[in-house]
Amino acid sequence: MHYICQRVNLDIESPPRELQTGFLKEENKSAMNHPVDDRNMDAAPVEGKITDEAVAAARRMIGMQLRAEGPYLQDATIDTIRNFCNGIGDLNPLYREAEYGRTSRYGSIIAHPMFPMAYGWLGRTRWGLPGVHGFYAGNDWELFRNIRPGDRITAIERVVGVEEKTSKFSGRLVIQYVEAEFANQSDELVARVLGWCTRHERQAAREKGKYKEVKKHEYTREELDAIDAAVLNEEKNICGRNIRYWEDVNKGDEIPSIARGPLSLMDTMGFLVGCGRGHTHGVLLKGAVRHPGHFFRNPEAGGGVEYTGIGHHRESIAKEVGVPGTYDYGPQRSAWLASLVTNWMGDAGVLKRIRTELRLFNTMGDTTWCKGKVRKKYVQDGYALVDLEIRAENQRGEATAPNGSATVILPSREVTTRLCRDGSGIDLGCARFA
């Protein structure tokens, strides 16, 4: 889709479709008044190539501001805040129960720290390298203010970097970075995030077949019982109103794990609902006419229009891009790891920073175990801080989201430390591309 606010003259011949933003090409203007046919959309996702020219064009976009994705859920309400929690399986009453929030230290429910994702998955692949498949690969959030019912969120997003690497999955790949800032209706900074995605040639990934030997896990009854018990008992480990003081935390302390899975279609579709996504019929078709390279007429749907990212829900399309089966959404897994931290820190704690890296695919039937431990505790700018190591593992013990980290502000019994109700009093300088 096209997200730059104005047409940009990059002084190159035949700029890629992603750079022709804000204007419909003549044939697409005409198509708006006629049925879509195979001249505008293929019967399968476009098979683009990573060429030197395409990479150079993507690099020329560095510094440009992108048109905000969506926005989807721009207004925070009790319903949208709770619905987002439903989409990520978060049971914390501070983020979902109005009466609990009313009697809390905040005077109302507040949104889950990852609620800005409901505005749009900023950092997701949607610029440059036409026809080259993209996977959401990670994000680094710094959080400043709580989002409350009645807040209206806006965002500014810009391209900040492009890197080239090689991988066993697809050979040549490109990593794209964007930085975004979210603000409320008073123009106060709510959050800042650096997001990155990887771009892979569909054909190369398919032919290399890195994951072709991966088989769907067959659970024993005992394994399923253990997962169910972890999910159903999660509420018991939510710190909530029980204050976790900085002095009571020690380096090496383990954080109670949480489980998400086995991953089902209900889980992935529920995340979409929680983020307010669901373009259908005429809304979908109009978008496809404007940007046919991002959609296709799927023979499996009788020629119905589907987005190229439908591999999250159709196994055949997932396998066309080298993935062993339908898989979760990257922002979804990042939100699970945030819930791991917020369960542990309690209502009096403040999640200041969270960074997640997404590596292995989390496919249907996989279970994600979110784990963490205390890495460091210290005082900075008068605030009592704790750094955590966080990660996600599947039922095979493979790290699907390694090397994660989080910083939490905790209350301290030392009266020389500062009190806080949010993260606005300290800027760690995170979410910067280097």
Q: What Rg, from alpha-carbon coordinates, does the chain have?
A: 22
| Mean pLDDT, all residues of the chain | 89
Please report the pLDDT score of residue 13 as a whole number: 29
25 — pLDDT class (breaks 50, 70, 90): very low
Mean pLDDT of 175-200: 96
Pick the closest to residue 403 from 416, 393, 415, 413 (CA basis).
393
Q: What is the CB neighbour count within 10 angstroms for residue 266? A: 8
Distance of CA 134 to the CA centre of its chain: 13
Question: Do the beta carbons of residue 153 and residue 116 sit within 8 Å?
Answer: yes
Q: Which stretch of DSSP H or E encloses residue 340?
A: helix 330-345
305 — pLDDT class (breaks 50, 70, 90): very high
Residue 133 has pLDDT above 80, yes or no: yes
What is the rounded CA–CA span in Å between residue 196 and residue 177?
4
Pick the closest to residue 128 from 11, 43, 1, 290 (CA basis).
1
Residue 241 has pLDDT above 60, yes or no: yes
Question: Do the beta carbons of residue 234 and residue 334 sit within 8 Å?
Answer: no
Q: Enumerate the β-bridge partners of residue 296.
A: 42, 306
Look at residue 325 and give its three-state secondary structure: coil
Please report the pLDDT score of residue 19 as a whole number: 35
Q: Enumerate the β-bridge partners of residue 291.
A: none
Residue 293 has pLDDT above 90, yes or no: no
Q: What is the 3-state secondary structure (H, E, C) of 154-217?
A: EEEEEEEEEEEEEECCCEEEEEEEEEEEEECCCCCEEEEEEEEEEEECHHHHHHHCCCCCCCCC
- Which has the higher per-residue pLDDT, 189 or 212? 189
Please report the pLDDT score of residue 310 as a whole number: 92
What is the rounded CA–CA span in Å between residue 31 and residue 42?
15
What is the rounded CA–CA span in Å between residue 362 and residue 166?
21
Residue 262 has pLDDT above 80, yes or no: yes
Please report the pLDDT score of residue 70 as a whole number: 83
Question: Do the beta carbons of residue 153 and residue 76 sit within 8 Å?
Answer: yes
Question: Do the beta carbons of residue 70 and residue 120 sit within 8 Å?
Answer: yes
Taking phi over 0 as left and psi of -120 to 50 as alpha, with beta for the rest, 203 belongs to alpha
83 — pLDDT class (breaks 50, 70, 90): very high
Placement of tokens 């690497």 in the chain: 165
Q: Enumerate the β-bridge partners of residue 181.
A: 156, 192
Sheet with 399-409, strands from edge to edge, namely 65-66, 154-167, 171-183, 189-200, 133-143, 350-357, 399-409, 383-393, 368-380, 254-260
Q: How many residues does the chain have?
A: 434
Question: What amino acid occupies position 249?
Answer: V
What is the rounded CA–CA span in Å between residue 19 and residue 9?
9
DSSP state of 4: B
* Tens of pLDDT, residues 66-76: 987 889 999 99
Q: Which stretch of DSSP H or E encloses residue 388?
A: strand 383-393
Question: Do the beta carbons of residue 55 and residue 162 sit within 8 Å?
Answer: yes
- Which has the higher per-residue pLDDT, 169 or 77? 77
206 — pLDDT class (breaks 50, 70, 90): confident
Extents of the domains making up the chain: 17-409
Residue 269 has pLDDT above 50, yes or no: yes
CATH superfamily of 17-409: Hotdog Thioesterase (3.10.129.10)
Residue 402 has pLDDT above 60, yes or no: yes
CA dihedral 358, 425, 178, 325 (to 10 degrees): 20
What is the rounded CA–CA span in Å between residue 199 and residue 137?
10
Residue 217 has pLDDT above 70, yes or no: yes
What is the rounded CA–CA span in Å between residue 198 and residue 313?
20
Residue 150 has pLDDT above 80, yes or no: yes
